[in-house]
């Protein structure tokens, strides 16, 4: 199926959901804007602009101040902000594959954009142009409507899956280049640029700030600095690309042959259990259950390595796996990397919170065909989290000598993106990056 046809079906399906959401929340019109740039305080420099994801979800047009006017029964209207400008390049619209799905209005100024919006009756607004939206007498980011829209976004259309797959192909190229650079002795900064160059984008066009961590830095979960340090023994590379706004989110941990063999065995153990967990991405399964299973598997691996001296059940029951694996097993992936609706229990906005023992679990939903989720178990040596276990009755359950010897090597994370289908899990990542 062509991208044009996929997009047409995507937008039609989403417009049905918009109609349902508006009617359930007593609105007639949904106005979504692509957003206002952020200017640093007391400066004239702007942060790199990121189009509001709610806008991107309906229209792949990038840039600030565009507006979508969505009304059930009418063709979606795109009010495109198209100034003449000699300071910054304004790309011509051309004839993109998605254009025929919109009624296009071209507006040379922001005032003209909002004149075209008008003051629709019972209108809701999603975005950050609050002064403009207030002037248009719209209700700002109403939470009841946002929950409804988010609920629909959790179920990916074939267009979205195709975009994520393209982002995966790009991301896989970046990962191959990054790993090659690492094995040749490159620094974190050089590995980052090997990735960026292979993808062919600017830094801020990546899916998220890259995590390129050598040795002990790989135990900082979102390590974003880039040291000049070379010749690491362990590389944790968590990085993804984007295609038409949609990101991939991929992590690989590579160890050199010269690395401590005990750490190599742990890395291979995480790889094995990650693949097993990907097979558990099955419709009808509460994600919390898969997360619990991941702790049992990490517990078994730690026992096998002799790092824990209790079996997996006891390790999980007593919270011994948590300092080694302190984050959630995964999160929804969509037009946002940490996508919406992970904890929604229904479209009306009721929430199923993370259990107190696992506060960083981002998803508590039951898996449903169309959900796209990351599977990203980790095993880290994080001194601040292990410290409380060094004292007291449980201290003898840990092999502190081994822990201290492996701590300089940091940690391990492996991450794939998996689609829930009627026929079982579909791993989008391994097809393009097998190991
Ligand atoms: N890249 C951030 C994450 O995996 O959640
Ligand atoms: Mn990631
Ligand atoms: Mn992730």
Residue spans of the domains in the chain: they are 3-153, 158-427
Segment (H or E) for 373:
strand 372-375
Cβ of 208 closer than 6 Å to ligand 1, yes or no, is yes
Taking each helix axis as running N to C, give the angle between helix 188-199 and helix 158-183, from 0 to 180 degrees, rounded to the nearest 10: 140
Cβ of 416 closer than 6 Å to ligand 1, yes or no, is no
Please give the Cα distance from 414 to 378 (Å, whole number): 7
Tokens standing for residue 369: 């065909």
Longest dimension (CA), the chain: 71
CB 419 within 8 A of CB 372: yes
Give the model's confidence band at 378: pLDDT under 50 very low, under 70 low, under 90 confident, else very high.
very high
Residue 337's CB is within 10 A of a number of other CB atoms, namely 18
Which atom belonging to ligand 1 lies closest to the Cα atom of 331? Answer: 5
Distance of CA 251 from the midpoint of ligand 3 (Å): 8
Tokens 């693949």 correspond to 275
Please state the rounded mean pLDDT for residues 255-269. 98
CB 351 within 8 A of CB 345: yes
Per-residue pLDDT tens over the stretch 357-376: 888 999 999 999 999 999 99
Q: Which of 140, 335, 333, 307 minimizes the C-alpha distance to 246?
A: 335
Distance of CA 52 from the midpoint of ligand 2 (Å): 21
Altogether, the residues listed in the chain come to a count of 435
pLDDT for 357 equals: 85
Among the four given CATH numbers 3.20.20.80, 3.40.50.970, 3.40.350.10, 3.90.79.10, the one describing domain 3-153: 3.40.350.10
Per-residue pLDDT tens over the stretch 16-72: 999 999 999 999 999 999 999 999 999 999 999 999 999 999 999 999 999 999 999
Per-residue pLDDT tens over the stretch 172-215: 999 999 999 999 999 999 999 999 999 999 999 999 999 999 99
The pairing of beta strand 123-126 with beta strand 29-33: parallel
Question: Dihedrals φ, ψ of 127, to 5°?
Answer: 150, -170
Q: What sign has the CA pseudo-torsion 340, 367, 293, 364?
A: positive
User: Closest Cα to atom 4, ligand 1: which residue?
Assistant: 249
Per-residue pLDDT tens over the stretch 233-261: 999 999 999 999 999 999 999 999 999 99
Q: Which residues pair with 373 in a beta bridge?
A: 332, 418
Q: Is 411 helix (H, G, I), strand (E, B) or coil?
A: strand
Instruction: Please state which CATH number belongs to domain 158-427.
Output: 3.90.230.10
Q: Which of 211, 208, 218, 318 minimizes the C-alpha distance to 267?
A: 218
Give the model's confidence band at 266: pLDDT under 50 very low, under 70 low, under 90 confident, else very high.
very high
pLDDT for 406 equals: 98
Distance of CA 148 from the midpoint of ligand 1 (Å): 25
Segment (H or E) for 30:
strand 29-33
Stated pTM of the model: 0.97
Cβ of 238 closer than 6 Å to ligand 1, yes or no, is yes
Contacts of 29 (CB under 8 A, 6+ apart): 22, 69, 70, 71, 120, 121, 122, 123, 124
Per-residue pLDDT tens over the stretch 340-355: 999 999 999 999 999 8
Cβ of 376 closer than 6 Å to ligand 1, yes or no, is yes
3-153 and 158-427 share one fold: no
């Amino acid at each position: 199926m062509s991208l044009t046809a996929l997009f047409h079906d995507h937008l039609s399906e989403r417009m049905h959901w918009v109609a349902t959401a508006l009617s359930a929340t007593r609105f007639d019109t949904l106005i979504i804007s692509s957003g206002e740039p952020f200017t640093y305080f007391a400066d004239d420099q702007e942060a790199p602009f990121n189009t509001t994801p709610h806008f991107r979800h309906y229209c792949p047009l990038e840039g600030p101040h565009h507006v979508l006017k969505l009304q059930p029964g009418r063709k979606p209207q795109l009010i495109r902000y198209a100034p003449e400008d000699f300071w910054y390049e304004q790309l011509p619209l051309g004839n993109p594959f998605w254009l025929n799905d919109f009624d296009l209005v071209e507006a040379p100024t922001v005032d003209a954009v909002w004149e075209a919006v008008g003051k629709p009756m019972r209108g809701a607004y999603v975005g950050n142009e609050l002064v403009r939206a207030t002037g248009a007498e719209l209700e700002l980011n109403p939470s009841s409507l946002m929950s409804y829209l988010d609920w629909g976004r959790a179920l990916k259309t074939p267009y979205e899956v195709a975009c994520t797959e393209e982002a995966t192909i790009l991301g896989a190229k970046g990962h191959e280049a990054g790993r090659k650079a690492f094995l040749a002795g490159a620094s974190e900064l050089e590995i980052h640029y090997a990735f960026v160059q292979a993808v062919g984008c600017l830094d801020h066009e990546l899916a998220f700030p890259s995590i390129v961590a050598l040795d002990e830095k790989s135990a900082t979960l979102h390590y974003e600095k880039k040291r000049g340090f070379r010749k690491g023994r362990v590389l944790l590379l968590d990085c993804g690309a984007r295609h038409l706004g949609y990101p991939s989110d991929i992590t690989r941990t590579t160890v050199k042959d010269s690395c401590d063999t005990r750490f190599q065995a742990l890395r291979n153990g995480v790889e094995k259990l990650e693949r097993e967990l990907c097979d558990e991405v099955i419709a009808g399964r509460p994600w919390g259950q898969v997360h619990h299973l991941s702790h049992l598997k990490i517990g078994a691996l730690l026992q096998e390595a002799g790092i824990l001296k209790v079996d997996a059940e006891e390790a999980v029951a007593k919270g011994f796996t948590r300092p080694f694996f302190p984050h959630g097993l995964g999160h929804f992936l969509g037009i946002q990397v940490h996508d919406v609706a992970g904890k929604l229990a229904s479209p009306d906005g009721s929430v199923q919170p993370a259990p107190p023992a696992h506060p960083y679990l981002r998803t508590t939903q039951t898996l449903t065909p169309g959900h796209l989720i990351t599977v990203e178990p980790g095993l880290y040596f994080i001194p601040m989290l292990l410290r409380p276990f060094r004292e007291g009755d449980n201290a003898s359950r840990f092999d502190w000598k081994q822990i201290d010897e492996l701590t300089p090597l940091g940690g391990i994370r492996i991450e794939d993106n998996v689609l829930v289908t009627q026929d079982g899990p579909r791993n989008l990542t391994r097809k393009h990056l097998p190991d």
